[in-house]
């Protein structure tokens, strides 16, 4: 069987590293002279699972955050990020795979429900298109990587095309919302092999209780992406790589 493994720590790592140059981030965030690009929280008591972080999340209680009015750069769905998305959907079951739940299971800091909703919408169209294809030809049911190169980068679980009522993963669905359970999920998922260096110390699992996510200084990562855009900066999680 093909293995569906979560991105290894090493693959997730880049999430918190690359991104934009601090200089650019400051250009946006600058308001206070002593601005702190990223507050690293104290070492986590427990080894955190996978939480990949997009950028800065918490807004300090410093007072007024201009970030509330700032718009985030467009999220770029890299194959790795998409993999995580598919993985979450696969383990949730089609029925429970709704934006909020997926977002929670993914545990990607900075990722919003809207981000997921938008991607999910497109992904569903992709699945539907595939179902249509597998009904007639007799040939391969694979779509063109040319058109769907992103979606083709991650294997589509078979049951995605075969909605089986009553077979959803309600256990995982129940787990969502419980940081510890989600942590276990991620751990068992293939997140072992943590780096001996303890390089990924991550304080929090997603964003449950302590952090306010709205109105903060969410993600500031951007890449000089040569998007089809005229100059809009895009959020790049990490270099596309398989």
Partner DNA sequence: TTACCAATAT
Partner DNA sequence: GATATTGGTA
Residues near DNA (CB under 7 A) = 71-72, 74-77, 98-101, 113-115, 117-122, 124, 147-150, 227-229, 235
Whether residue 186 contacts residue 172, with contact meaning beta carbons closer than 8 Å, is answered with no
State the nearest-atom distance from the C-beta of 118 to DNA, in Å.
Answer: 4
Q: Which is nearer to DNA, 74 or 187 (CB)?
A: 74
d(CA 172, CA 175): 5
Q: Which is nearer to DNA, 14 or 200 (CB)?
A: 14
State the nearest-atom distance from the C-beta of 224 to DNA, in Å.
Answer: 16
- Sign, CA torsion 8/172/216/110: positive
Q: Which is nearer to DNA, 66 or 99 (CB)?
A: 99
Whether residue 88 contacts residue 160, with contact meaning beta carbons closer than 8 Å, is answered with no
State the nearest-atom distance from the C-beta of 46 to DNA, in Å.
Answer: 26
Q: Which is nearer to DNA, 40 or 71 (CB)?
A: 71
Q: Which is nearer to DNA, 160 or 200 (CB)?
A: 160
Render 36-85 in DSSP notation, one character per residue.
-S-PPPPPPSS-----EE-S--PPPTTS--GGGGPPPPEEE--HHHHHHH
**What are residue 76's DSSP bridge partners?**
236
State the nearest-atom distance from the C-beta of 194 to DNA, in Å.
Answer: 28
User: ∠218-105-14 over CA atoms, to 5°?
Assistant: 55
State the nearest-atom distance from the C-beta of 101 to DNA, in Å.
Answer: 6
């Amino acid at each position: 069987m093909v293995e569906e493994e979560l991105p290894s720590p090493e693959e997730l790592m880049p999430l918190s590293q690359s991104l934009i140059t601090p200089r650019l981030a400051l250009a946006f965030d600058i308001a206070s002279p002593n601005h702190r690009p990223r507050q690293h929280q104290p070492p986590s008591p427990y080894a955190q699972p996978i939480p990949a972080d997009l950028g800065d999340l918490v807004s300090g209680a410093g007072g007024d955050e201009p970030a509330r009015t700032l718009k985030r750069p467009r999220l770029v769905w890299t194959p790795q990020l998409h993999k995580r998305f598919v993985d979450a959907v696969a383990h949730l079951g089609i029925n429970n795979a709704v934006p909020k739940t997926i977002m929670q299971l993914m545990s990607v800091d900075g990722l919003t429900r809207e981000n997921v909703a938008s991607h999910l919408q497109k992904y569903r169209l992709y699945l539907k298109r595939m179902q249509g294809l597998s009904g007639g030809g007799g040939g391969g049911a694979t779509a063109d990587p040319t058109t769907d190169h992103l979606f083709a980068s991650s294997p589509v679980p078979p049951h995605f095309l075969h909605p089986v009522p009553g077979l959803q993963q309600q256990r995982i669905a129940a787990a969502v919302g419980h940081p510890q359970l989600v942590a276990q999920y991620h751990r068992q998922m293939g997140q072992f092999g943590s780096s001996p260096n303890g390089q990924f110390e991550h304080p929090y699992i997603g964003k449950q209780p302590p952090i306010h996510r709205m109105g903060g200084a969410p993600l500031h990562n951007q890449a000089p992406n040569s998007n089809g855009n005229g100059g809009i900066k895009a959020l790049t999680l990490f270099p596309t790589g398989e």
